[in-house]
Amino acid sequence: MPDPAYLTAVRDSYDTVAAAYAELVPKPSELDPLSRGMLEAFAETVRRSAPGPVADLGCGPGQVTAHLADLGLPAFGVDLSAGMVGLARRAYPHLRFVRSSMTALGLGDGVLGGILAWYSTHHTPSAELPALFAEFHRTLAPGGHLLWGCHIGDEHRRPARGYGHPVSYEWHLLPVERVAELLERAGLVVVARLVQEPEGRLTRSHACLVARKT
């Protein structure tokens, strides 16, 4: 079966922008203190709650995957873009990076101690999120945690360019309450949330949600 059109657009767009993205996107050490704190808290929570590998879904060039590994997690990266996976493998040859879709991870049930979805679900149409979050639930071990972080709003965008290059992906931004509701419906209990308003380098509202598979 061919990929849905939105996945094809995401894959092709990020293959195009991969090198520019790796240069322009802030490294974990350059994030605002609250975002860095959420990543650190997630790492500590996973270490204490559930054994098993941690998947960084939509890992891009691997910078955050490597940061999770530095925080003591057995992290590996997954990305739809072969260009992104190639950059990640060259930059962090000691870590594992897989080219795959987060919509069908090809993993067994309950094998992951944690999932990070860090600014990687906003290209997914809202109608597809229940199936995506069901895949997160399926692959997480009981007691495993998800950290979801993304821009929030109530907006559908079709940018013509991104990171200095033509792109064909779309943005689907949702209110944080709606994302939390969808996670709960998938069986992932939201245990913490952080909402940040635009300030300084933050040019739009964004949020983090921590959810646990009971």
Domains in the chain: boundaries? 5-101+109-213
End-to-end C-alpha distance for the chain, whole angstroms: 33
Write the pLDDT tens digit of every residue in 106-148: 999 999 999 999 999 999 999 999 999 999 999 999 999 999 9
Output b/e per residue, 145-167; b: 16+ Cβ within 10 A.
Answer: bbbbbbbbbeeeeeeeebbeeeb
pLDDT (average), residues 11-37: 96
What pTM, to 2 d.p., does this model score?
A: 0.96
Distance of CA 83 to CAs 7, 61, 194, Å? 15, 9, 32
Backbone angles phi, psi at 173, to 5 degrees: -95, 135
HSE (side-chain half, CA atoms, 13 Å) at 168: 11
- Confidence category of residue 156, pLDDT binned at 50, 70, 90: very high
Write the pLDDT tens digit of every residue in 167-192: 999 999 999 999 999 999 999 999 99
Helices (H), 25-80: 33-49, 63-70
For residue 1, what pLDDT is reported? 63
pLDDT (average), residues 96-103: 97
Cα–Cα distance for residue pair 165/167, rounded to 1 Å: 6
What is the percentage of the chain residues whose pLDDT exceeds 70?
Answer: 99
pLDDT at 200 over 80: no
- Confidence category of residue 103, pLDDT binned at 50, 70, 90: very high
Query: 196: which residues sit within 8 A by CB, 6+ positions away?
Result: 32, 34, 35, 202, 205, 206, 207
For residue 50, what pLDDT is reported? 83
CATH code, 5-101+109-213: 3.40.50.150
Average per-residue pLDDT in the chain?
A: 96
List the one residue out of 154, 158, 195 whose CA is nearest residue 178: 154
For residue 51, what pLDDT is reported? 84
Write the pLDDT tens digit of every residue in 62-72: 999 999 999 99
